[in-house]
A and B are shown apart, each in its own frame.
Chain A
Amino acid sequence: MSDIHRTIEAVWKIESTRLIAAIARVTRDIGLAEELAQEALVTALEQWPEEGIPQNPAAWLMTAAKRRAIDSLRRGRMLEHKHGEIARELEFQQQQLGEAMDHALDQVIDDDVLRLIFTACHPVLAVEGRIALTLRLIGGLTTAEIARAFLIPEKTLGQRIFRAKKTLSEAHVPFETPRGDELRRRLQSVLSVVYLIFNEGYTATAGEEWMRSQLCDDALRLGRILAELLPAEPEVYGLLALMELQASRTAARTGQNGEAVLLLKQDRSLWDHAQIQRGLAALDHAQKLGGGAGIYALQAAIAACHARARTAEATDWERIVLLYDALLQVSPSPIVALNRAVAVAMAHGPAAGLNALESLATEPALSGYHLLPSVRGDLLMKLGKFTEARQEIARAIALTQNKREQELLTEKLERMPKTAREA
Chain B
Amino acid sequence: MRFMMIVIPKAHQTASQDAQPNVEGFTRMMEYNKSLEKAGVLLAMDGLTPPSGGARISFTDGNATVTDGPFAEAKETIGGYWIIQVRSREEAIEWAKRAPMDNNTIIEVRQIRGLADFPADVQDVLAKRYESLKKEAAANA
Residues on A facing B (Cβ under 8 Å): 3, 6-7, 9-11, 13-14, 17, 110, 113, 214, 217-218, 220-225, 228-229, 250-251, 256, 267-270, 272, 274, 278, 310-311, 313-314
Main secondary structure of the interface of A (DSSP, over half): helix
CB distance from B121 to the nearest CB of A (A): 11
| One of B37-45, B49-57, B100-108 contacting the partner | B37-45
Chain A residues with Cβ under 8 A from B94's Cβ? 7, 10-11, 14
What number of B residues sit within 8 Å (CB to CB) of A?
33
Given A225-B38, A228-B38, verify A10-B93 contact (CB < 8 Å).
Answer: yes
B interface majority secondary structure: helix
A9, A251, A269, A272: the one contacting B129 at CB < 8 Å is A269
Q: Say yes or no: A10 contacts B88, CB within 8 Å.
A: yes
**In the complex with contacts A9-B90, A228-B38, A251-B115, A313-B138 CB distance below 8 A:** yes
Find out whether the CB atom of B85 lies under 8 angstroms from the CB atom of A221. Answer: yes
Q: List 9 A-B contacts (CB under 8 A).
A: A7-B94, A9-B88, A10-B86, A13-B87, A14-B39, A221-B39, A256-B123, A267-B127, A314-B141
18 A-B pairs besides A7-B94, A228-B40, A256-B123 with CB distance below 8 A are A6-B90, A9-B90, A10-B87, A110-B38, A221-B41, A221-B85, A223-B40, A224-B37, A224-B42, A225-B38, A228-B37, A251-B114, A267-B130, A269-B129, A270-B115, A272-B114, A274-B43, A311-B137
With the chains together, A398 CA to B95 CA distance in Å? Answer: 52
Cα A113 to Cα B87 with chains together (Å)? 20
B30 on interface, CB distance cutoff 8 Å: no
Partner-A contacts on B (CB < 8 A): 1, 37-44, 85-88, 90-91, 93-95, 98, 114-116, 120, 123, 126-127, 129-130, 133-134, 137-138, 141
Distance between Cα atoms of A310 and B44 in the complex (Å): 24
Contact status B137-A313, CB under 8 Å: yes
Measured CA separation A294–B98 after assembly (Å): 38
Instruction: Look across to chain A and name the residue whose beta carbon is closest to the beta carbon of B83.
Output: A274
Q: Which residues of A contact B37 (CB under 8 A)?
A: 224, 228
**How far, in angstroms, from A294 to B40 measured CA to CA in the complex?**
23
